[in-house]
Chain A
Amino acid sequence: MIGAFDGNEFFLDPSRCIGCQACVQACAECGTHRGVPMIHLEYVHRATGVQTAPVVCMHCEDPTCARVCPADAIKQDDHGIVHSAAKPRCVACSNCVIACPFGVPKMKVELDLMMKCDMCYDRTSVGKKPMCATVCPSGALYYGPSEYIEKFRREQPVNEFQFGRQTVRTKVNMMTSPELKALPFEVLDFLPWEGKDFDPFELSRAGAPDAAAAAVFDKTP
């Protein structure tokens, strides 16, 4: 019998994501929430580009969602997994949805219930891999031994985030530059200050591909 997690960890690298939604489709196959995907996958800003943001629950060491729950409905287990709200307790107040720094919990209005990613607990607790990370074709979601990541990836994992004044430590790892010990997180740079035309990619990455580089109408033969 293979034990829970078995030395494996979850690694997230949104920059690799191709937005294919294999994770979303596979997430709905997970036993703890069959038919209802919990992973988030959205375009960051489709009008300007195709970057997509896959987000699983990061499983915070000190989960904000659980702390703001008025009904004690969100529990963290001995493995550090933060579970969906306990069905009898959840009062569907959405505190967790609004407070989670990663935007993870989903309010199922029709069920009066918060549900969230629990790292496929039905699978990971018996030594299987989470659905999303098993199927992910780009490596944006990876579940396995950290030695693999250290050996084969150029980016390296951190599990600390600085949200302004708040430090958040998580069970799930985020891939970033090897020099960094925590993921620096900035919001102010990405706000539409002074009514400026909103283009997050201009702000985030110089030299990003430009489909209009030389494709000007007048030059079309």
Chain B
Amino acid sequence: MRLPNRAALIAGTALTLATVAGIAVGSSGMRHFDPALTGYAIGALMAAFALGYRFTVWAQRPPSRMYFKRGFELMFRRAAAVAATPSSPSVAVAPSPRAESGDEASPKRTATGASQPLFPHGAGTLGYALARNFVAQEFIRRRGGYRWIMHLCLSGGCTLAFAITFPLVFGWIHFSSFPDNAEMYHVAVFGMNVDSFSVHSFKAFIMFNLLNISAILVLIGLVMAGWRRFTDPGERATQSFYEDIVPLLLILAVTATGLALTVSYKFLAGRGHGLWAIVHMVSVVALLLYIPFGKLFHMFQRTCSLCVSRYKKVGEAGARAHCRRCGEDFASQMHVDDLKTVLDELGFDYRFEGAKGEVHYQDICPACRRGLLALNQGRTIGR
């Protein structure tokens, strides 16, 4: 990767400026900005820059770029239209005799491709994928119930905490007591009053304790994750300190110091509050800066899965790739063709040519590639 990466610099800068603008506008021209939270705000701006930079660097990689590009294209096009447009001449390769004789893939294509010609546009797929992958995290449930609960606790707790603290830090949400009644509060969002409540109400209890609730969720998740990292033989073998342990420690630091603040003002009459506040701020900023460069960046990378969902759906309905050796349907033709492009961009060239013709290794199914390995090896030693 060339450094400095211009596009990434621009993206980072833009995201930082957008955050600055967000703070300025959202806090009604800094009127609702709490100067005590300046450290957090600066940390957030640094993280915004890093995030923009890192995301752009990643999204420029040929395979990622291909998915984002296709994701955007397919979002605005009908699936059947995509299927009908050959994206490269190799679709025209005559299918093998086996394919003509009717393998499993053919009826599928007729059913979804011809008799039900139109898919809804991509929005449905996108919404569905968003709900399924990001909110319900259904794919993790399939990987294991324990991990699903663990991850829901961690991601839910963190998301909740950030959803409260970022608007507070940026001054987007602002609480103020009534001038005449210290027991009644206004809630202002982007400078506009939206609600008011008594400090004795249940609503108030929830509002003031939301961060503690999120902390407990996160703690449950952390204990579960820690237990797994200590006991699962597979994880123990393959985990790395920076990728797998550091994020847990950072989240633990944030949670523990945050709770320490609560303990301090609730039970210790504010003793040690100042110190804890600083430690908490340092840990939060460290976590924010870790996000773009470590394991937690996955929450942004998973946006790619939205493109993949759509890509797969369109691919299933469209032209299928049949293995040049066995004739079996093994992928969508779009996928095979796109991979050829990506491989070219990456500098790989798996083209075979000889007296009989030419074949790209991407046109051979994975099972046949395994068989060909044995055949070619056997041939060199007469077995």
A and B touch in the complex (CB under 8 A): yes
Question: With A111-B142, A192-B97 in contact, is A101–B350 under 8 Å at CB?
Answer: yes
- A28 contacts across to B, CB distance below 8 A: none
Interface of B is mostly: helix
User: Known contacts A15-B377, A100-B366, A118-B238; is A112 also within 8 Å of B350 by CB?
Assistant: no
Q: Is the beta-carbon distance between B372 and A64 smaller than 8 angstroms? A: no
Q: Interface residue count for B (Cβ, 8 Å)?
A: 70
B346 within 8 Å of A (CB atoms): yes
Interface size class, chain A:
35 or more
A91 to B304, CA, bound (A): 7
Contact A51 B139 (CB under 8 A): no
Tell me which residues across on chain B come within 8 A of A87, comparing CB atoms: 143
B340-357 vs A, CB cutoff 8 Å, 1 = contact: the mask equals 001100101111111111
Once A68-B339, A164-B353, A166-B348 are accepted as A-B contacts, the answer to whether A13 and B377 lie under 8 Å apart by CB is yes
Q: Which A residues are CB-close (under 8 A) to B64?
A: 70-71
Which chain A residue shows the least CB distance to B98? A192
B381 proximity list for chain A (CB < 8 A): 15, 155, 175-177
> Which stretch of A131-139, A142-150, A179-187 is in the interface?
A179-187
Interface residues of A in 140-198 (CB under 8 A from B): 155, 163-166, 174-177, 180, 183-188, 190-193, 195
User: In the complex, are the beta carbons of A44 and B348 less than 8 A apart?
Assistant: no
Chain A, 64-95, contact with B by CB distance < 8 Å: what is the 0/1 string?
A: 10011111100000000001101111011111
Q: Which candidate, B116-124, B169-177, B212-220, B229-237, is the interface stretch facing chain A? A: B229-237
B25 at the interface (CB under 8 A from A): no
Determine whether the beta carbon of B378 is less than 8 Å from that of A204: yes
* Chain A residues, CB < 8 A from B335: 94-95, 98
User: Which residues of the other chain, A, contact B371 by a CB distance below 8 angstroms?
Assistant: 42, 44-45, 53, 200
Name A15's contact: one of B63, B97, B372, B374 (CB within 8 Å). B374
Residues of B contacting A101 in the complex (Cβ-Cβ under 8 angstroms):
350, 361, 369
Closest A residue by C-beta to B325: A191
Interface centre among A99, A102, A104 (most CB of B within 10 A): A99
CB contact under 8 A between A69 and B63, given known A83-B238, A97-B366, A174-B377: yes
Query: Is B301 in the interface zone, CB < 8 Å from A?
Result: yes
Given contacts A99-B343, A185-B372, contact A71 B301 (CB under 8 A): yes
Q: In this complex, what residue of A is CB-closest to B338?
A: A95
How far, in Å, is A159 (CB) from chain B's closest CB?
13
Task: Specify the chain B residue showing the minimal Cβ separation from A196.
Answer: B97
The reply to whether A112 and B139 contact each other, CB–CB distance below 8 Å, is: yes
Does A110 reach chain B (CB closer than 8 Å)?
yes
B-side contacts of A98, CB under 8 Å: 330-331, 335-336, 339, 362, 366
Most-contacted residue by chain B among A70, A164, A176 (CB, 10 A)? A70
Contact among B237, B295, B331, B355 with A32 in the assembled complex (CB-CB below 8 Å): B237
- B364 in the interface, Cβ–Cβ < 8 Å? yes
A52 to B346 Cα, complex, angstroms: 33
Shortest CB-to-CB span from B348 to chain A, Å, is: 6
A166 to B340, CA, bound (A): 13
Q: From B59, which residue of chain A is reached at the shortest CB distance? A: A70
Residue of B at shortest CB range from A125? B237
Interface check A113, CB cutoff 8 A: yes
| 1/0 contact string of B218-250 vs chain A (CB within 8 Å) | 000000000000000110111000010000000
Asked whether A103 lies within 8 Å of B369 as measured between CB atoms, the reply is yes
Residues A200 and B375 in contact, CB atoms below 8 Å apart = yes
Q: How far is the CA of A53 from the CA of B361 in the complex (A)?
A: 18
Q: A192's closest neighbor in chain B, by CB?
A: B96
* Smallest Cβ-Cβ distance to A30: which chain B residue: B234
- Report 15 cross-chain contacts, Cβ distance below 8 Å, ordered by A residue: A14-B373, A67-B346, A67-B348, A86-B295, A88-B298, A93-B67, A103-B365, A121-B237, A165-B350, A165-B352, A166-B361, A174-B377, A185-B372, A193-B356, A200-B375
Known: A31-B237, A32-B237. 19 other contacts (CB 8 A): A15-B374, A31-B233, A68-B339, A68-B343, A71-B64, A83-B238, A87-B143, A110-B142, A111-B143, A112-B139, A113-B139, A122-B234, A125-B237, A163-B361, A164-B361, A186-B352, A186-B354, A188-B354, A188-B359
